[in-house]
């Protein structure tokens, strides 16, 4: 089938100019220049009105100033997840609105290719394919051009108290509670004694902490401990805290365990 596909030879159009910033885009818009051939092709491609009688469209336009559509919530969440992943300073909601209002066009070839490869992997997940070898990692360089695909390896498995876990697993705790209640929760439900608890770069609790300070913090809600130790307020858009813990297992041995996703109560 591939041999039968006839790929037309690519011929770049002359006189094409790509806007690289808002000033160029505004200048070209005011100049009134347009491609007559392209306009004619677009006119021919429009179907006759009779064929659209039963068609109903509901356009969804990006609107950064409407908080009820959750567009900015999605952008702030996704952009800050990427920022944290690459040690880029996160942007608050106000700064994200300013950035979203000044989008600069980018070359779409590599982006389109990456999106296509990602969608192929998502289709496999939706189909419920379980075999690791059916999935692929991809590396590509369109400038060479170079394409390479390999099979991913399974995540490393660790164990605590005969329970296996990988880096994809986590403890999930619902609602606010005091620090003491969190310590008791892990002792009762997982037979784990928390010896150190941290959030980001803030050490919230440790076994070698001064007894008076430990007693004071144990009586406070965990969110209040985070605020006091980090000296920062928890942003309103944050729905969960990531807590790292060190623990002793049932035999008193130091063990590696997943992180805690501490879901904050809805405000």
Average pLDDT over residues 174-190: 92
Q: Would you state the pLDDT for residue 130?
A: 86
What is the reported pLDDT for 211? 93
Residue 255 has pLDDT above 70, yes or no: yes
Judging by DSSP bridges, how do beta strands 163-165 and 158-160 pair with one another?
antiparallel
Cβ distance 195 to 204 under 8 Å? no
The three-state secondary structure class of 249 is coil
What's the pLDDT at 32?
55
Residue 7 has pLDDT above 60, yes or no: yes
Residues of the chain with pLDDT > 90, as a percent, come to 53
Q: So what's the pLDDT on residue 105?
A: 62
Q: Distance between CA atoms of 44 and 25, rounded to whole angstroms? A: 27
* pLDDT at res. 30: 60
Average pLDDT over residues 114-122: 94
SS3 of residue 10 by DSSP = coil
- Neighbouring CB atoms inside 10 A of 153's CB total 8
Domain ranges of the chain: 61-104, 109-150, 158-263
pLDDT of residue 21: 76
Write out the CATH class of domain 158-263: alpha beta
Contact of 158 with 165, CB cutoff 8 Å: yes
Q: Give the rounded percent of residues in the chain with a pLDDT score beyond 70.
A: 95
Q: Give the per-residue pLDDT at 28.
A: 67
Structure tokens at 59: 């356009």
In this predicted model, what pLDDT tens digit does every residue of 55-104 receive, in sequence order?
888 887 888 888 888 899 999 999 999 999 998 999 998 888 888 877 66
Tens digit of each residue's pLDDT (9 = 90 or more) over 9-65: 888 877 777 777 777 777 766 665 556 788 888 888 888 888 888 888 888 788 888
195-210: pLDDT as tens digits = 999 998 899 999 999 9
Spatial contact of 32 and 23, defined as CB atoms under 8 Å apart: no
3-state helix, strand, coil in the chain (%, to 5): 35, 20, 45
Average pLDDT value for the chain: 88
pLDDT of 63 reads: 86
pLDDT value at residue 33:
56
Residue 84 CA to residue 87 CA, distance in Å, equals 5
Rounded to whole angstroms, what are the CA distances from 166 to 2, 159, 260?
41, 9, 14
């Amino acid at each position: 089938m591939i041999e039968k596909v006839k790929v037309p030879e690519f011929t770049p159009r002359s006189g094409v100019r790509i806007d690289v910033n808002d000033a160029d885009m505004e200048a070209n818009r005011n100049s009134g220049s347009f491609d007559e051939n392209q306009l004619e092709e677009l006119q021919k491609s429009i179907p006759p009105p009779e064929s659209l009688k039963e068609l109903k469209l509901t356009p969804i336009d990006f609107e950064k100033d409407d908080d009820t559509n959750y567009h900015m919530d999605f952008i702030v969440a996704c952009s800050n997840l990427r920022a944290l992943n690459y040690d880029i300073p996160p942007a608050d909601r106000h700064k994200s609105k300013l950035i979203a209002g000044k989008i600069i066009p980018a070359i779409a070839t590599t982006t389109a290719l990456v999106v296509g490869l990602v969608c192929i992997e998502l289709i496999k997940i939706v189909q419920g394919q379980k075999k690791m070898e059916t999935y692929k990692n991809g590396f590509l360089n369109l400038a060479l051009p170079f394409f390479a695909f390999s099979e991913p390896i399974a995540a490393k498995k660790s164990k605590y108290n005969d329970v296996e876990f990988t880096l994809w697993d986590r403890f999930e705790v619902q609602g606010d509670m005091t620090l003491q209640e969190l310590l008791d929760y892990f002792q009762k439900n997982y037979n784990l004694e928390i010896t150190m608890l941290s959030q980001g770069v803030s050490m919230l609790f440790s076994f070698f902490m001064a007894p008076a300070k430990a007693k004071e913090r144990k009586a406070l809600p965990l969110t209040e401990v985070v605020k006091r130790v980090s000296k920062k307020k928890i942003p309103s858009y944050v729905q969960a805290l990531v807590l790292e813990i060190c623990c002793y297992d049932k035999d008193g041995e130091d063990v590696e365990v997943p992180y805690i996703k501490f879901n904050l109560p809805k405000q």
